[in-house]
Amino acid sequence: MAQALAALLMPVSVAVYALAAWRVAADIGIAGAFPFSGIFSHWQVWLPIGVLISFSIFSLNRYGIQRGTPAEPVAEIRLEREQTPTR
């Protein structure tokens, strides 16, 4: 469950970092107008939110690995050398 939540949070994290980059680009004049106003119109708000979400993803993945049951392989492939007859 923890790893599933971490997987769902990954696109959210990327979107938040994209908003932070958009705001920085808008501040230096190489991007269009930023759609948010108020407190969410600052990149200094978006960047820590992205870091917090990334840390949450990291923590959830570690928790899921430590608490989860070991995954069984779906298939096992054995590569064996072909025996050539000796003369």
CA dihedral 17, 18, 20, 23 (to 10 degrees): 180
- pLDDT, residue 14, reads 96
pLDDT band, residue 35 (cuts 50/70/90): confident
- pLDDT, residue 28, reads 93
CA dihedral 59, 49, 11, 41 (to 10 degrees): 180
- pLDDT, residue 66, reads 78
How is residue 30 written in tokens?
Answer: 């190489």
